[in-house]
């Protein structure tokens, strides 16, 4: 990250955690500075090295480096999660729909997939639950990413014994949509109007109205073109995983000596910093992500008192059935097949 972003983050976390403020000990000697502690935490995240290696570069002890990492990850999540791990608001949805239209997929809100992080020092009592087809204990991250590699959704902590389908059943990806709190996505495909956006996914995912998956054995030129286009755009989330692991090598190497709570905060911190770096590379000014934007983003989380719980529950179940409609999935995929075929003819 750039120096300006580093200084900005340090200033923000000092407001929520006094640990990063330099103090004096009982003898009056200055202790470690906030720059040293934050650099030690970033060094561990970026290179995935043990805590005692940091001493050679920053002159900081192993226990202090571990404490700095724990305080840093929790401060980052507490300070920035509401901004950099928010759900798309109306402005974001409009931009994502426009981007999807340009790539041939009107209504696309991103790509959905899972990533596995090996847990080398997994406690013996949890090895069975966290061991799946990788034959080693791993923790699953479910994420949604757009073309610019921004991560819009991150659900982390499920054991590897669960596959992508069961992780999706437990994730809050469609929670706001089911409760009618998500922004409406209005778009048209093949002269058919839709009000729910969708995510591109691979073949393991179920057929939902909000998921457009590939075709395992496409027959005909139209379906083969759709598969090529869908798989090319679906790789956005895989590219995001690759960039995330390249920036923070700790996610690539097996996690050592960490609890499941520590893994959760480390993963959330890496994703938040990843989004912050993407925003900083766009040269977006600080005032453009001010408190006004935060108020807009969190307004969808406000709870309203229900005066008719039976009616609200009935609407909740109706929305859930709409999302899980196999017929709606087939209709939107067929419309996309025709749309991409006609679009290819126009380009020719």
pLDDT tens by residue, 203-231: 899 999 999 999 888 888 999 999 999 99
207: left (phi over 0), alpha (psi -120 to 50) or beta: beta
Instruction: Give yes or no: residues 49 and 141 share one domain.
Output: no
Domain C-terminal end among 21, 53, 84: 84
Collapsed DSSP state (helix, strand, coil) of residue 214: coil
pLDDT in tens, 114-168: 999 999 888 888 888 888 878 889 999 999 999 999 999 999 989 888 888 999 9
Structural domain of 325: 90-247+309-347
Asked whether residue 298 is assigned to any structural domain, the reply reads: no
Return all residues near 102 (Cβ < 8 A) that are at least 6 apart: none
Q: What is the mean pLDDT of the chain?
A: 86
Distances (CA, A) of 112 to 43, 173, 181: 29, 10, 20
The pLDDT score that the predictor gives to residue 318 is 84
Do 107 and 11 fall within a single domain?
no
117 and 36, same structural domain? no
**pLDDT band (50, 70, 90) for residue 346:** low
- Per-residue pLDDT band for 310 (boundaries 50, 70, 90) equals low
Q: Is the same domain home to 159 and 239?
A: yes
In angstroms and rounded to an integer, the radius of gyration of the C-alpha atoms of the chain is: 22
Q: Is 271 inside any structural domain? A: no
Structure-block tokens of residue 234: 């679906």
Report yes or no: 161 and 273 within 8 Å, Cβ to Cβ.
no
194: pLDDT strictly greater than 80: yes
Of 84, 107, 134, the position where a domain reaches its end is: 84
CB within 8 A of 71, min separation 6: which ones?
17, 19, 20, 37, 41
* pLDDT tens-digit map of 51-97: 888 877 778 888 899 999 999 999 999 999 999 999 899 999 999 99
Q: Are 115 and 143 in contact (CB under 8 A)?
A: yes
Do 103 and 200 lie in a common domain? yes
Q: How many domains does the chain have?
A: 2
| pLDDT at residue number 283 | 62
Q: What CA–CA distance (Å, rounded) separates 137 from 128?
A: 8
pLDDT of residue 347: 52
Q: CA of 307: how far to CAs of 127, 132, 316, in Å?
A: 46, 45, 15
**Final residue before a domain boundary, out of 84, 119, 149:** 84
Percentage of residues of the chain with pLDDT beyond 90: 53
What span, in angstroms and rounded, lies between the C-alpha atoms of 11 and 16?
9
- Residue 100's pLDDT is 92
Statement to judge: residues 160 and 51 lie in one domain = no
Collect all residues with Cβ–Cβ distance below 8 Å to 69 and sequence separation of at least 6: 40, 41, 44, 45, 51, 266
Backbone φ, ψ for residue 240 (5° rounding): -65, -40
The reply to whether 322 and 174 lie within a common domain is yes
Q: What is the mean pLDDT of residues 305-321?
A: 69
HEC secondary structure over 6-48? HHHHHHHHHHHCHHHCCCECCCCCECCCHHHHHHHHHHHHHHC
Per-residue pLDDT at 345 exceeds 70:
no
Q: Which of 53-62, 112-121, 291-300, 339-348 has the highest mean pLDDT?
A: 112-121
Residues 46 and 76 in one domain: yes
pLDDT tier at 305, thresholds 50, 70, 90 = very low
CA distance 262 to 113: 23
Residue 204 forms part of a structural domain: yes
CB atoms within 10 A of CB 151: 23
Is 115 found in the same domain as 52?
A: no
| DSSP code at position 119 | B
């Amino acid at each position: 990250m750039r120096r300006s972003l580093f200084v900005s983050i340090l200033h923000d976390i000092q407001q929520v955690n006094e640990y990063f403020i330099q103090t004096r000990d009982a003898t009056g000697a200055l202790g470690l500075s906030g720059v040293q502690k934050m650099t030690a935490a970033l060094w561990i995240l970026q290179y995935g090295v043990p805590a005692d290696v940091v001493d050679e570069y920053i002159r900081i002890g192993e226990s202090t480096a571990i404490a700095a990492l724990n305080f840093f990850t929790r401060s980052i999540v507490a300070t920035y999660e509401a901004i950099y791990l928010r759900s798309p608001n109306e402005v974001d949805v409009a931009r994502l729909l426009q981007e999807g239209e340009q790539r041939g997929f009107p209504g696309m809100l991103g790509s959905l997939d899972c990533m596995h992080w090996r847990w080398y020092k997994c406690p013996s009592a949890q090895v069975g639950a966290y061991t799946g087809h990788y034959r080693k204990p791993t923790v699953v991250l479910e994420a949604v990413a757009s073309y610019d590699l921004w991560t819009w959704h991150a659900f982390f902590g499920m054991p590897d014994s669960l596959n992508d389908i069961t992780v999706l059943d437990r994730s809050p990806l469609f929670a706001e949509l089911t409760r009618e709190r998500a922004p409406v996505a209005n778009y048209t495909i093949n002269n058919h109007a839709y009000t729910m956006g969708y995510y591109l996914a691979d073949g393991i995912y179920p057929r939902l109205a909000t998921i457009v998956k590939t075709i395992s054995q496409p027959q005909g030129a139209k379906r083969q073109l759709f598969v090529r286009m869908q798989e090319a755009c679906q790789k956005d989330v895989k590219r995001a995983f690759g960039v995330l692991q390249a920036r923070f090598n700790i996610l690539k190497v097996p996690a050592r000596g960490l609890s499941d709570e520590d893994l959760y905060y480390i993963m959330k911190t890496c994703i938040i910093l990843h989004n912050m770096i993407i925003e900083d590379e766009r040269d977006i000014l600080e005032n453009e992500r001010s408190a006004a934007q935060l108020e807009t983003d969190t307004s969808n989380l406000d709870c309203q008192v229900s005066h008719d719980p039976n009616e609200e529950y009935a609407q909740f179940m109706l929305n859930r059935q709409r999302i899980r409609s196999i017929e709606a999935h087939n209709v939107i995929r067929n419309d996309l097949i025709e749309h991409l075929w006609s679009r290819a003819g126009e380009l020719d």
